[in-house]
Each structure stands twice: as structure tokens, then as C-alpha cells.
Chains A and B, each alone.
Chain A
Amino acid sequence: MLTVKNLVKDYVTGPRFSAQRRTVQALKGVSLNVARGESFGIVGESGSGKTTLSRCILRLEPATSGRIVYDGIDVTALSGAGLRELRARIQIVFQDPYASLNPRMTVHDIVAEPMLIHFTKLGLDAAQRTARVRELLDVVGLGAEHLYRYPHEFSGGQRQRVGIARALAPKPEFLILDEPTSALDVSVQAQVLNLLHDLQRGFGLTYLFISHDLGVIRYICDRVALLYAGQIVEEGRTAEVFDAPRSDYARMLLAALPEPDPDLSPYRAAS
């Protein structure tokens, strides 16, 4: 469904015309395939380029070179109306539910905004939009009483639900989840992960799940790619990567994953 081929993204930093001006290669030829209906995980440490990759797929950043093909459409060549059409099909849930919701808009307006932007696809009038907002809030486990509240009145988990409802508003088929649970408590994280799992089964969504939390990736993803310094170092079915990692980096990362079992502690074992 989504094919990324040799994607390169350069950032140029430093003052213009100065000797300190440098090119930083955030993505060094990344290639991957995501099939319809699967959850594809991207794991990487901070600075590995995982967020840059998601921004390139949505064309929030222009790619330096390489191709991104979504359902036969060349994303890198799109502009204007074509791009808007694409963004109705691919939506994103951001990491920080505190920063990604406009504090001056009600939940109703936040969730309805994508329906206004994608009016040509959905064609909903004001009353229909409100009805759909109610429906979406219900889907993510919020009630009608939350409709006209502001983001600050919600907890982190509830805000992330609003973010998910907003992403579902234009009826996308593909969701990019950029660390959707890293700002949340474990108990709330479990709720959000279960919600995402139910949504995928209910709507047949495809997920690109970006995270640095290996435990979460192992739980939710069918296939996984490890990104290190802008390159994919290992890719495969989740169970295979976790049980029999081939690269040194994967082995190191898995060894560092703290298992919630006191008998598996590498520190106590050494003593």
C-alpha cells in the first residue's frame, strides 16, 4: 500500500554563506513497504530519523530524493488539491497530546476541522459534522458531554483520544502514529493501545507505528523496522526480530529493554 524507496532527507544548518554551514543527512536511503491492513512499526532512538520519515510521507517536509508511492500515487510529485486528497487518506496522531490540540478550540471544533478542510471528499454540512463528531467521540470512548469542552479540561489519555478522533474524522485508511503513548501512564497507554487495536479491526486501518518503546511495538505491530542514524538496520516480522535479532544494533536494543520481571534483571544477575 505504501512504498518508500531510497528516501533521502537532508537538512542544511548554520548561517548562510558561512563556513559553519553543513548538511545533515537525517534519512540516508530508507526503503520500506507497508501492506494494507497491517501494523508496521518503526523503532529508533532519538535522532534516528523516525519522525522525519513520517513527516516526509505526509509531505509536511519535502524529500531530498527518493520516491514515496501511496496506493499507486507518487506522493513526492503531488501538489495542491492532489496533496489535500492524499492527506484525507493518510492521517497522523502526534506524540504530545498537550501540544497538538489548539487550546482555544473546543473538542467539537478540533474534531470537525478536518471535515471542513476535506469538505470536497466528505461533503458534510454543519449539522452532519456535529453528528459525526458525536459518533467519533463515541468510537474513541468519550461522551457527548465532552463536546464543548476545551483541551485543558482533559487528562492526557483523554486528549490523545481527541487526537485520534480528529485523525479519524476525514475517514482515512492509513494512520501514522508518532509515539502516541509515550507521554501517557502505563494504565492509560494500555487503554489507548487497546482502542487502536479495536479501531484497526473495526475500520480495517493500516498503521505506521513510530515508537522508541520496544515493548509497545512488540505488542501492537505485525512487522517492524529498526532505524538507526537514518538507515534501516533490520526489518522483519515482529516475532522474528524480537526472538532472533540479526544485527548487533537490534541485539543491543533488545538487551536494554527492561522486562517487567525481577528474575530477568541483568544487574542483579551480575552481582
Chain B
Amino acid sequence: MALLEISGLELAMRSYAGETRVLNGIDLAIDRGEVWGVVGETGSGKSLTGLSVSRLVPCPPGRYLGGSIRFDGFDVLSASPAQMRQLRGTKIGMIFQDPTTNLNPAFRIGEQLQDVALRAGVIAPEILGLEAGASRRARRHAARALALAMLDKVGIPDPASRIDDYPHQFSGGMRQRVLIAMALIGRPELLIADEPTTALDVSVQAQILRLLYGLVRERNLAVMFITHNLGVVAQICSYVAVMYGGRILETGPVRQIFKQPQHRYTRALLAAVPRRDTKRGELAGIAGSLMAAGSGPC
């Protein structure tokens, strides 16, 4: 059995115009050590799939109509909020797109990391390397040491002098590293990365991808990498799921999807990316890309 198993997931969102189905039967299984690229255009439901796994879709307006999400055998959709809090941060780590808005500007980097470490330590004391009944002072010390070690791990130069900086003193790439450190502090088994490099420059993106790839190999992480950048998917992912209109159209190993795409939407998507040998005027746009969620291309 895979670490994460999503089967037949259906989600509807309510708005003034009535209820719209945004996920129409998602089936996806991710195992340890696998990097799954979830690709699709805006509105294809890729972010909602990621958010559903950690139950961060607000309900209402969201409503699950059917299907199941099993994480390590545990039924996520019927979990209580308290059970989900146990899962998030320790079993499931998350990184989001914009590193600027996901750090609190009023707190020091180290403090924000320590808080996550302390919380993770409550659920699993071995993360801090302490006995269950350790004093608050000892826990704080251990949390700070862990924060420092994590900053070092994600490649922040001279972490001891940067740990008491505020987020605005860090560059975009460094902030994203901090968020990766934060997501990994509780030693998760599954990492959900929702467009983690979209806001970054290509050179910084390459550093972040290298870091992620190293961590996957070192910790045998399962990663759900949500992005619309097919270049990034080709480089880092081992499997790909192509989404459109709340459905998964095609899944498979990355080479198969890129070299022998079966679905015509996948072929169209790949043809829309300018490559080394694409002549000017040859790029193919997708005419039906403005379709609303719920209607498929087929």
C-alpha cells in the first residue's frame, strides 16, 4: 500500500452562482521516495488536491461529495481537527508558492522555526532529542538548536548569525529555504510543495530544486510537487499526473509522459512550451484553455 492514496475524490465549491464541482474523481497514489509532479493550468484543481490532503480546504464553501484520502492507512477525510493538527507538520509538511506572505514579518526567523519545532516536540518528543518530561527551558534550547541545524541543512550561510534576523532581511530564495526548513522540521514523510519555485529567479529555482532533490534521496520523502512549469517537472519528478478541469487525464513515469504522451491535452500542453529547437511561430496554444472547471477537453 502506498503512503498516500487518493481515490475517487470529489469536491464541490459553493459560490453565489451555485455549487460547482472542482474535483471530479481524483485517483492518485504516492509512495515514499517518489516525486509526483501534479501539472495543470490555473483552475485545474491541482492546488485543491494538495490542500485536500492536509484538509486545508475551508468547508464550507467546500464540500466533499465522495471518495477517500488515506495517508499511511489513516482516513484523512473523517479525521477530527485535532487529529489533523497532529498530522500536519509532523507527518505531512507543506511549502507554498509565495515565501514573502508565508512568514510573519513581526517575528524573527529563529522564533518562527522554534515554534514549529516545539509543537512538533509535543507530538513526537524524539524530534527534539529529549525525554517526554523535559523542562520547558530544555525544550526551548533543543528547539533553537534544531532550528539552527535545519537552517544549516537548507544551505543558509552562517546560520548562527542569521537566525535572529527578520524575514525582510532575507532574500526571496533564502525565505523559501526557511519555509522548506520549517516544513521539514517535524520530519514529515510526505511533502506537499505547491508551486514552491514559481516566484523565484531561475538561478535560485535551480538551487531550491537541488536542495529538494537531495532531501528526497536522503530522507526517502514522498513529494507532491504541484506546478505549471513543465520544465521543472521534467527535471525533478519521477512521476507525473496531468490535471484538467478537476480530473486527472493522464498519469505515468515522467519519461513516458514527456516522450509518449497518450492524451491529446498532454500533447497540446507539451507543445505550448518553447524548447531549444522550436522555430518562431511554431508554438501551439491551446484554444479551449478558458473552459470553466467541470467541463473537460474530451
- Residues in chain A within 8 A of chain B (CB atoms): 45-46, 155-158, 185-191, 193-194, 197-198, 212-216, 218-220, 242, 252-253, 255-268, 271
Alpha-carbon distance A155/B258, docked complex (angstroms): 28
- Is A187's CB under 8 angstroms from B275's CB? no
- Is B275's CB under 8 angstroms from A186's CB? no
Residue B285, interface by CB 8 Å: yes
- Is B283's CB under 8 angstroms from A215's CB? no
Interface segment, one of B16-24, B111-119, B157-165, B224-232: B224-232
Chain A residues contacting B270 (CB-CB under 8 Å) are 260
Q: Report the minimum CB–CB distance from A182 to chain B (whole Å).
A: 10
- Is B236's CB under 8 angstroms from A256's CB? no
Alpha-carbon distance A261/B234, docked complex (angstroms): 5
Q: Report the minimum CB–CB distance from A179 to chain B (whole Å).
A: 12
Extra contacts, 19 of them, besides A185-B289, A255-B206 (Cβ < 8 A), are A45-B201, A46-B201, A157-B289, A186-B269, A187-B289, A188-B41, A188-B285, A194-B281, A198-B281, A215-B273, A215-B275, A257-B231, A258-B206, A258-B232, A259-B235, A260-B230, A261-B275, A262-B259, A267-B210
- Is B275's CB under 8 angstroms from A260's CB? yes
Q: Report the minimum CB–CB distance from A69 to chain B (whole Å).
A: 28
Alpha-carbon distance A264/B276, docked complex (angstroms): 12
Assuming A214-B202, A256-B206, is B258 touching A261 (CB within 8 A)?
A: yes
- Is B236's CB under 8 angstroms from A267's CB? yes
- Is A256's CB under 8 angstroms from B273's CB? no
Chain A residues contacting B258 (CB-CB under 8 Å) are 260-262
Residue B272, interface by CB 8 Å: yes
- Is A187's CB under 8 angstroms from B286's CB? yes
- Is A185's CB under 8 angstroms from B235's CB? no
Chain B residues contacting A259 (CB-CB under 8 Å) are 231, 234-235, 275-276
Q: Report the minimum CB–CB distance from B67 to chain A (whole Å).
A: 26
Chain A residues contacting B278 (CB-CB under 8 Å) are 219
- Is A185's CB under 8 angstroms from B255's CB? no
- Is B234's CB under 8 angstroms from A262's CB? yes
Residue B268, interface by CB 8 Å: yes
Q: Report the minimum CB–CB distance from A216 to chain B (whole Å).
A: 6
Alpha-carbon distance A193/B285, docked complex (angstroms): 9
Chain B residues contacting A189 (CB-CB under 8 Å) are 272
- Is A258's CB under 8 angstroms from B231's CB? yes
Q: Report the minimum CB–CB distance from B191 to chain A (whole Å).
A: 16
Assuming A219-B274, A253-B203, A262-B254, is B290 touching A191 (CB within 8 A)?
A: no
Chain A residues contacting B3 (CB-CB under 8 Å) are none
Among A187, A253, A266, contact of B285 (Cβ-Cβ < 8 Å): A187
Nearest neighbor of A158 in chain B, beta-carbon distance:
B290
Lowest 4 CB-CB distances: which A-B pairs, in order? A258-B231, A191-B285, A219-B274, A187-B286
- Residues in chain B within 8 A of chain A (CB atoms): 41-42, 172, 201-206, 209-210, 213, 217, 228-236, 254-255, 258-259, 268-276, 278, 280-281, 283-286, 289-290
Nearest neighbor of B201 in chain A, beta-carbon distance:
A45
Alpha-carbon distance A197/B274, docked complex (angstroms): 14
- Is A258's CB under 8 angstroms from B234's CB? yes
Nearest neighbor of A258 in chain B, beta-carbon distance:
B231
Q: Which of A46, A219, A271 has the most CB of B within 10 A?
A: A219
Alpha-carbon distance A271/B230, docked complex (angstroms): 21
Q: Report the minimum CB–CB distance from B233 to chain A (whole Å).
A: 8
Assuming A156-B42, A190-B284, is B234 touching A256 (CB within 8 A)?
A: no
Nearest neighbor of B233 in chain A, beta-carbon distance:
A260
Nearest neighbor of A44 in chain B, beta-carbon distance:
B201
Chain A residues contacting B290 (CB-CB under 8 Å) are 155, 157-158
- Is B41's CB under 8 angstroms from A260's CB? no
Chain B residues contacting A216 (CB-CB under 8 Å) are 274
Among B206, B217, B254, B273, contact of A186 (Cβ-Cβ < 8 Å): B273
Q: Report the minimum CB–CB distance from A205 to chain B (whole Å).
A: 14
Among A157, A187, A197, contact of B281 (Cβ-Cβ < 8 Å): A197
Chain B residues contacting A188 (CB-CB under 8 Å) are 41, 285-286, 289
Chain A residues contacting B232 (CB-CB under 8 Å) are 258
Chain A residues contacting B213 (CB-CB under 8 Å) are 267
